[in-house]
Chains A and B, each alone.
Chain A
Amino acid sequence: MTEQNFKAASILLVDDDDVDAMGIERALKKMKLANPFYRARDGIEGLEMLRNKSIEQPYMLLLDLNMPRMTGIEMLKELRSDPTLRGTVVFVLTTSDEDQDKLAAYNEHIAGYIVKTKLDTGFDELLKLLDCYWRLVELPINE
């Protein structure tokens, strides 16, 4: 086990819905997880935070698709064409279960596509998944 795995991975949520942001914070608190949590309201704000390096490394992205100013797919395309950010681990978290959205997201090499309506018991399951994920999976560190 390398050193970085002792440091809890940060979670950046890019989503315009305040209730979802509250839900994740609530679930983090409830499950007593110490991961640093950041929130951006759209793709532009999310990219800014990543490029300013204001997010503690390593990090994982939870990305909504339908947002004002810059949608999730647009932000994914930006990320994948950015030489320093292209390796970012992204989970899409959206209400849309349209096949075309899933296809478009997986084409941008996301780690997983999660439909919000399937999370029956709030975000607990999602956070369990993320907790497992950062403990087992090596996350990239950007220079």
Chain B
Amino acid sequence: MSTYTSDGTAEIITAPLKMPPYFLYVVLAICLAPYCLSLLGVNFASAAPPLDLHAAADLPAHQQIELMFNRLSGAFTHTILEWSAFCVAILTVFLAASHYFISKNLTTLVIGAALFLAGCMDAFHTLAADRLIHAVADNRDLIPFTWAICRVFNALILIGGVTLLLSHRAKASETTNLKLLAVAFIVSVTVAYGIIHYSAASSSLPQTQFPDNVITRPYDVIPLLLYLFAGLFLFPYFYRQHPSVFAHALVIAMIPEVLVELHMAFGSTALFDAHFNMAHFLKIFAYAVPFFGLLMDYIHTYEHKEEEAKARALTEQHLQKYTRELERSNKELNDFAYVASHDLKAPLRGIMQLASWIEEDIKDHLEDQTREYLQLLHNRTHRLEQLLNDLLAYSRVGRKHGDLKTIEVGEFSKELFRLLNPPPGFTLVCDNEVPSLCTLSVPLEQILRNLINNAIKHHDRTEGSIRISAQATVDGFEFAVTDDGPGIAVDQQQRIFGIFQTLKPRDEVEGSGMGLAIVKKLLDNYHCHIHVESDGQRGTTMRFNWPADATLRSLIHD
């Protein structure tokens, strides 16, 4: 089974979200046990013989009290049973609150609070029955009547809580939810106390017990129906909508609730009789079932959180491993650059020097052919040196950004053009819409220099015109370097950005094939792109975007 977390990612649930199967059997066994035992002859009633006041008048005081205690055993049993149920409700609400703080799952908190509310009302009912809070009504009417009200209240508040959770779609903030819940709780407690107080103070409560009817306590039919509805329809539906161990336990908890009401509605004929006590005992159990459910859910949530933490730690470990790997490979690359700069260049220089000394020493005896070979040797060693230098430049791209400074695009490009010593027939035109910009001039200069240099170097005519344009865009600038050279065939247009790629033999056009690779790497470094526009017949436009200064600033800081 899988569920979805708040951020929408699926996660694997290792254990099924329900109570273990044996739990249901244990609940069924405990629910049926009192009735079965009573069929076997066990008497659960606690009705004592009537107290003969006249006979007792002659007895010593302590024996009188003992007789009174005996007479009140039913009331004591009632109080103990009710109070035990209330205690379970208290435990439940505390566990629910702590569960909520781990899982942030409102279900447990709302149902926990509802159960606690019902428990509070049971407690008021008991206090009124024991005359510990003001009560004038006859207990024979008050206890069954407030009992029925408590049960209806209990059923309604559980149904209300679940309905609230089912209808709760909007993702209100945590504090708003908690405030709403607190207000609802305080209002409900007040209402519960008010109802009990009103009933206890009333001198004309309706008749609630009809010992001669099939339905001995008709008022208890209402909660019975409510629990049946909740157990058969609402709570299973809720469990399907919000699967959790606790929601499953809530469904199971309806079994003792229904049995409680069966004992009362169809069994109990008088206060403190066997069915009355069995119903009260089962009510404790009805509180205990969600409590155990909450406990199981708590353990489940804890284990789940632990597994998540383990998975996170594992991911972190992997991440660290990859980071180390990356650092190592970066270092290797840098080491390679250094090897290329020194260890390869040093022997190459030796070869160049030795060749020139040989040439110097035997220049008077050289044949034309040998002179040409020596010339080629010089040329090739120089080319190798250039390749190494450009490879080094490529590997160094991105190490330094330089500083932001304001440049005049036109003047900047013309200066670059002049420094490249173009042949006399070449001209540079700037039709920049952006007169000046504040930018990282070092990488921009490197990019433009390479592009202008390519336009000159690969031109097939003695006269050529190069145009540079700069435009402002939504998120920065767009530069274009256009020439009227031979163009680049469409199928070659992607190849040219690779390292050591040239489109002509190096003997025809001297070049390492690193220029555009360096340009591309520089642009990648600032998350920019370059593309070629050429029909392969005449003229090429190299177009690239360039970030605004704010973007550059944030990139440098990263």
Contacts of B343 in A (CB 8 A): 66
Given A116-B349, A117-B349, also A95-B354 (CB < 8 A): no
Contact A98 B341 (CB under 8 A): yes
Contact A97 B341 (CB under 8 A): yes
Contact B353 A95 (CB under 8 A): no
Contacts of A17 in B (CB 8 A): 346, 350
Given A17-B346, A95-B346, also A23-B341 (CB < 8 A): no
Distance between B328 CB and nearest chain A CB, rounded to angstroms = 20
Contacts of B349 in A (CB 8 A): 19-20, 95, 116-117
**For the complex, is A26 an interface residue (Cβ under 8 Å from B)?**
yes
Contact B353 A96 (CB under 8 A): no
Contact A122 B353 (CB under 8 A): yes
Write the chain A residue with the least CB distance to B385: A117
CA distance in complex: A95, B349 (Å)? 9
**For the complex, is B345 an interface residue (Cβ under 8 Å from A)?**
yes
Contacts of A19 in B (CB 8 A): 349-350, 353-354
**For the complex, is B357 an interface residue (Cβ under 8 Å from A)?**
yes
**For the complex, is B356 an interface residue (Cβ under 8 Å from A)?**
yes
**For the complex, is B338 an interface residue (Cβ under 8 Å from A)?**
yes
**For the complex, is B457 an interface residue (Cβ under 8 Å from A)?**
no
CA distance in complex: A97, B389 (Å)? 10
Write the chain A residue with the least CB distance to B345: A95
CA distance in complex: A118, B385 (Å)? 12
Contact A20 B345 (CB under 8 A): no
CA distance in complex: A23, B343 (Å)? 18
Write the chain A residue with the least CB distance to B350: A19
- CB-contacts of A78-99 with B (<8 A): 94-98
Q: Which of B349, B356, B357, B385 has the most A CB atoms < 10 Å from its CB?
A: B349
Write the chain B residue with the least CB distance to A30: B360
Contact A122 B356 (CB under 8 A): yes
Could you give, for residues 115-133 of chain A, a 1 whenever the CB lies within 8 Å of some chain B CB and a 0 otherwise? 0110000100000000000
Contact B350 A66 (CB under 8 A): no
**For the complex, is B131 an interface residue (Cβ under 8 Å from A)?**
no
Contact B346 A26 (CB under 8 A): no
Contact B356 A66 (CB under 8 A): no
**For the complex, is B553 an interface residue (Cβ under 8 Å from A)?**
no
Distance between B53 CB and nearest chain A CB, rounded to angstroms = 109
Contact A23 B342 (CB under 8 A): no
CA distance in complex: A26, B341 (Å)? 25
B residues contacting the other copy or chain, number (CB 8 A): 13
Which of A20, A96, A122 is in CB contact (< 8 Å) with B341?
A96
CA distance in complex: A117, B353 (Å)? 11
Distance between B236 CB and nearest chain A CB, rounded to angstroms = 72
Contacts of A26 in B (CB 8 A): 357
Write the chain A residue with the least CB distance to B399: A99
Write the chain A residue with the least CB distance to B396: A98
CA distance in complex: A128, B343 (Å)? 27
CA distance in complex: A66, B543 (Å)? 42
CA distance in complex: A13, B341 (Å)? 21
Write the chain B residue with the least CB distance to A94: B342
- CB-contacts of A9-38 with B (<8 A): 17, 19-20, 23, 26
Distance between B111 CB and nearest chain A CB, rounded to angstroms = 67
Contact B342 A95 (CB under 8 A): yes
CA distance in complex: A18, B350 (Å)? 9
Given A17-B346, A117-B345, also A98-B338 (CB < 8 A): yes
Could you give, for residues 331-345 of chain B, a 1 whenever the CB lies within 8 Å of some chain A CB and a 0 otherwise? 000000010011101
Contact A23 B346 (CB under 8 A): no
Write the chain A residue with the least CB distance to B357: A26
Contacts of A117 in B (CB 8 A): 345, 349, 385
Contacts of B353 in A (CB 8 A): 19-20, 23, 122
Distance between B401 CB and nearest chain A CB, rounded to angstroms = 14
Q: Which of A26, A95, A98 has the most B CB atoms < 10 Å from its CB?
A: A95
CA distance in complex: A98, B346 (Å)? 14
Q: Which of B346, B356, B385 has the most A CB atoms < 10 Å from its CB?
A: B346
CA distance in complex: A94, B338 (Å)? 13
Could you give, for residues 91-117 of chain A, a 1 whenever the CB lies within 8 Å of some chain B CB and a 0 otherwise? 000111110000000000000000011
Write the chain A residue with the least CB distance to B346: A95
CA distance in complex: A26, B385 (Å)? 23
CA distance in complex: A66, B345 (Å)? 12
CA distance in complex: A23, B352 (Å)? 11
Contact A66 B385 (CB under 8 A): no
CA distance in complex: A98, B345 (Å)? 13
Which of B338, B350, B385 is in CB contact (< 8 Å) with A20?
B350
Write the chain A residue with the least CB distance to B337: A98
Contacts of B350 in A (CB 8 A): 17, 19-20
CA distance in complex: A19, B341 (Å)? 18
CA distance in complex: A91, B341 (Å)? 20
CA distance in complex: A27, B96 (Å)? 92
CA distance in complex: A72, B98 (Å)? 67
Contact A96 B342 (CB under 8 A): yes
Distance between B455 CB and nearest chain A CB, rounded to angstroms = 28
Contacts of B354 in A (CB 8 A): 19
- CB-contacts of B175-215 with A (<8 A): none
Could you jot down 27 A-B contacts, CB within 8 Å?
A17-B346, A17-B350, A19-B349, A19-B350, A19-B353, A19-B354, A20-B349, A20-B350, A23-B353, A23-B357, A26-B357, A66-B342, A66-B343, A66-B346, A95-B341, A95-B342, A95-B346, A95-B349, A96-B338, A96-B341, A96-B342, A97-B341, A116-B346, A116-B349, A117-B345, A122-B353, A122-B356
Which residues of A come within 8 Å of B, CB atoms? 17, 19-20, 23, 26, 66, 94-98, 116-117, 122
Known contacts A20-B350, A23-B353; 11 additional CB pairs below 8 A are: A19-B353, A19-B354, A20-B353, A26-B357, A95-B342, A95-B345, A95-B346, A96-B338, A96-B341, A116-B346, A117-B345
